[in-house]
Amino acid sequence: MHNHTTAHPALAHHFDSLDQQQEAASLGMWVFLLTEILFFGGLFLVYTIYRGWYPQAFASASHHLDIPLGTINTAVLIGSSLTMAMAVHAAQLNSRKGIMVFIVLTMVLGTVFLGIKGLEYSHKFHEHLIPGLHFEYAAEPQFVRHAQIFFSLYFVMTGLHAAHMIVGMGLMTWMLIWTARGVIGNGYYSPVEIVGLYWHFVDIVWIFLFPLLYLIGRHA
C-alpha cells in the first residue's frame, strides 16, 4: 500500500507489496514440498530396503513392467513440465491467453499420462499381478512372495503419484477459472507459479520412479 494510491486488488493487507506476497507464497509452497519429500521419501526408503533384501525377485518382477509405455509416459510427463513452465512464463508476461493455452496443454498431457497408466494397471490385472489371493507367478514360483512386495510398492508408489497428478489437474482447473475471471493477471500470478512448483515436483517423483521400477536388471 505504501506509495500506491490504489493497492493491487490481489494484495492482502498484511503484505507490504505484491512482490513480498508472491515471495511468501513461493516459500510456503516449497515448505509444503518438503513435507511431500517426507511422504514419498518413506516409500523410497521401503523400496531400497526390500530391494536390498530381495534383489533377484525385484529384477524378475520388474521384467513384467512395460518399458515402451513407461518411456512414453516419462516423455509425456517431462513435456507437461515444459508446458507448465511455459504457462508460468506466460503469466509473468501477463498473457492470460498464454496461461490458458499452456495450462490446458499441461492438463491434456497429464490426462494422456493417466490414461497410459490406467492401461498398464489393466494389463497387470489381467496378468494376475495384483498382490493378493489371485496373484500368479508360475514362471518363477520361487519369487512368488517377494514379487508381491515389488508389486505392492509399484501400485502404492505409482498410485500415490497418480493421485498427486489428479490433485494437480484439479488445481489447474482452478487456475483456468481464476484466469478467466481476471483474478490472475495484471502482475499477479503467484497461484500459477506455485501450482507449477507442485507439478514439477510430481514430475521429479516420476523421474526416480521410472528407473527404479521399470529398468531393474533388464540386461539379464
Helix (H, G, I), strand (E, B) or coil at 185: strand
Among residues 151 and 189, whose Cβ is nearest to another protein? Answer: 189
Residue 17 one-letter amino acid: S
Is residue 92 involved in binding another protein (CB under 8 A)? yes
For the four alpha carbons of 156, 162, 63 and 40, in that order, the dihedral sign comes to negative
Is residue 220 involved in binding another protein (CB under 8 A)? yes
Helix (H, G, I), strand (E, B) or coil at 188: strand
Is residue 1 involved in binding another protein (CB under 8 A)? no
Is residue 160 involved in binding another protein (CB under 8 A)? no
Q: Point out which span in 109-117, 132-140, 144-152, 183-191 binds another protein (CB under 8 A).
A: 183-191
Least Cα distance to 161 among 38, 35, 40 occurs for 40
Is residue 84 involved in binding another protein (CB under 8 A)? yes
- Out of 1, 71, 136, 173, name the contact with another protein by CB under 8 A: 71
Is residue 200 involved in binding another protein (CB under 8 A)? yes
All cell numbers assigned to 114: 493417466
Q: What is the dihedral of CA 211, 215, 219, 220, to 10 degrees?
A: 120
Helix (H, G, I), strand (E, B) or coil at 159: helix
All cell numbers assigned to 186: 495484471
Interface contacts to another protein, rule CB under 8 A:
4, 8, 18-19, 22-23, 26-27, 30-31, 33-34, 37-38, 41-42, 44-45, 48-49, 51-53, 55-56, 59, 67, 71, 74-75, 78-79, 81-82, 84-86, 89, 92-95, 186-188, 196-197, 200-201, 203-204, 207-208, 210-212, 215-220
